[in-house]
A and B are shown apart, each in its own frame.
Chain A
């Protein structure tokens, strides 16, 4: 049933001062049509574990896993050609900085049509028509004009919509979104999250949402994995996590939310962590 299944994933980086373990024995699985949120603060390894799956880590990284399968197929030792067939078609990804993810030298239309031609084998004309359809699907106003715009001529929210259009172009079964709304205003964040959730339901794709924002988790996830310093602290469905967090770190994260402040001081993670966990 699991679409993506990873068991005991570790990622080590060779650095000048020795080996650094960024991800330490993480299990992640996501089912078809499921929204999984991976939550953690910077340095928790939440992005690195997904980049490892995508094969996007630099050569200094050593990836080990007991199991790494996508739809029953082992993806740990794919050749470059096999990987290209999978990544960018079946599994796609969007990133935090939408403006930086697009190439500033080309129009957004060129960039999405390139993906359509290469991945779906469309002709130029078909690619243009499909690109316009996708722009409409992700709610870009006046798609006929915008398709000839350069990334710097669009707002951050619109650039993220273009990134999403590129990511869903090949009808992926798994979309990995790495902090997709962190660089955006709160009203734009709401629009982008609503769009992602609607596309997720319409296309029936699985969605892995990497975020540090408990608010985003509350609004989107079915299931949540909480990570801290490369280890999994807790895994639960979203309701149980917020209703009855099991792990001290999760409780700390939830009570550090300013809206949960009860008195003058905000509890900090170290208040909770003093004895309970030694990272």
Chain B
């Protein structure tokens, strides 16, 4: 997070994504528009949080930003350069710039692959480092994410959920990416483990100057980690703004309903609720 003015690491202009739902013997196929023209940009070292409920299109957008899927229309710019992956795979250089961490650390690691090989595989595919260099880098990365070099030869099932998510983060960082797309990275984790992983993510962001696109449904996590927030509902970005502005004064009705539904752990709110229940119980004794 240097003071110099930097261009957006990633920018999207009018991103649209259609999915074709195939028909059957009895029904015609149809198109579903998952994203209806999304604009965004994220500066270097910043975190954009994409908030929405299931079916809102937030993971679809994450997959487009992570260069997994090509959008139906619209332009994605990485480092100011338009990217088109619809006809050919992203080049190793481009692939190295953007990496992704998925929600479920139980599903995103191959159970038959040792942790060391998990970490070295991106290097095998995208670089021509010799084997010793790959191994050194993998061991160094294990330490960076709070694991030990002796974990190198273990299998994913020998780790807890939080440790697995650390491995997934380490794998994403092996190619020194500029941009990390994190799709609900902590929602499968326990509260205390979630805190550790969030701390790790913010340490790594400071150390490597990483830019994050952080997909989440949890507003309290977003409030902790984000610089800017985009609220997305049914494929439309209904509200976009800085974290401070959005949390202080949500404008759109959908954002307000999300806030209203988020449980509050405030002592005064609990006091009010307990008093209300007591009154209700006195009024209608069981």
A143 at the interface (CB under 8 A from B): no
B198: chain A residues within 8 A (beta carbon)? 258, 266
Which of B220, B258, B269 contacts A218, CB < 8 Å?
A: B269
Question: What residues make up the interface of A, taking CB atoms closer than 8 Å to B?
Answer: 32-33, 41-42, 156, 185-190, 201, 204, 212-216, 218-219, 222, 237-239, 242-243, 252-254, 256-261, 264-270
Q: Measured between C-beta atoms, what is the minimum distance from B225 to chain A in Å?
A: 8
Q: State the total of A-B contacts with C-beta under 8 angstroms.
A: 108
> Which chain B residue lies CB-closest to A273?
B192
- Cβ contact within 8 Å between B191 and A41: yes
Q: Measured between C-beta atoms, what is the minimum distance from B244 to chain A in Å?
A: 15
- Cβ contact within 8 Å between B274 and A219: no
**Would you mind naming 23 contact pairs between A and B with Cβ atoms under 8 Å apart?**
A32-B286, A41-B193, A42-B161, A187-B257, A187-B258, A188-B53, A190-B263, A204-B286, A215-B263, A216-B263, A218-B269, A239-B267, A242-B270, A252-B192, A256-B192, A258-B195, A258-B218, A258-B220, A265-B199, A266-B195, A266-B199, A266-B224, A268-B196
Candidate in B190, B193, B281 with the most chain A CB atoms within 10 angstroms: B190
Candidate in B161, B270, B274 with the most chain A CB atoms within 10 angstroms: B270
Give chain B's interface secondary structure class.
Answer: helix
Provide the bound-state CA to CA distance between A41 and B270, in Å: 22
B148 at the interface (CB under 8 A from A): no
Provide the bound-state CA to CA distance between A252 and B193, in Å: 11
- Cβ contact within 8 Å between B271 and A239: yes
Q: Measured between C-beta atoms, what is the minimum distance from A266 to chain B in Å?
A: 4
- Cβ contact within 8 Å between A187 and B53: yes
Q: Measured between C-beta atoms, what is the minimum distance from A242 to chain B in Å?
A: 5
B54: chain A residues within 8 A (beta carbon)? 156, 185
Provide the bound-state CA to CA distance between A270 and B225, in Å: 21
Candidate in B196, B225, B265 with the most chain A CB atoms within 10 angstroms: B265
> Which chain B residue lies CB-closest to A253?
B191
B217: chain A residues within 8 A (beta carbon)? 185-186
Provide the bound-state CA to CA distance between A237 and B277, in Å: 13
Provide the bound-state CA to CA distance between A260 and B191, in Å: 13
Also in contact, A190 and B260, with CB within 8 A (given A239-B267, A239-B274, A258-B224): yes
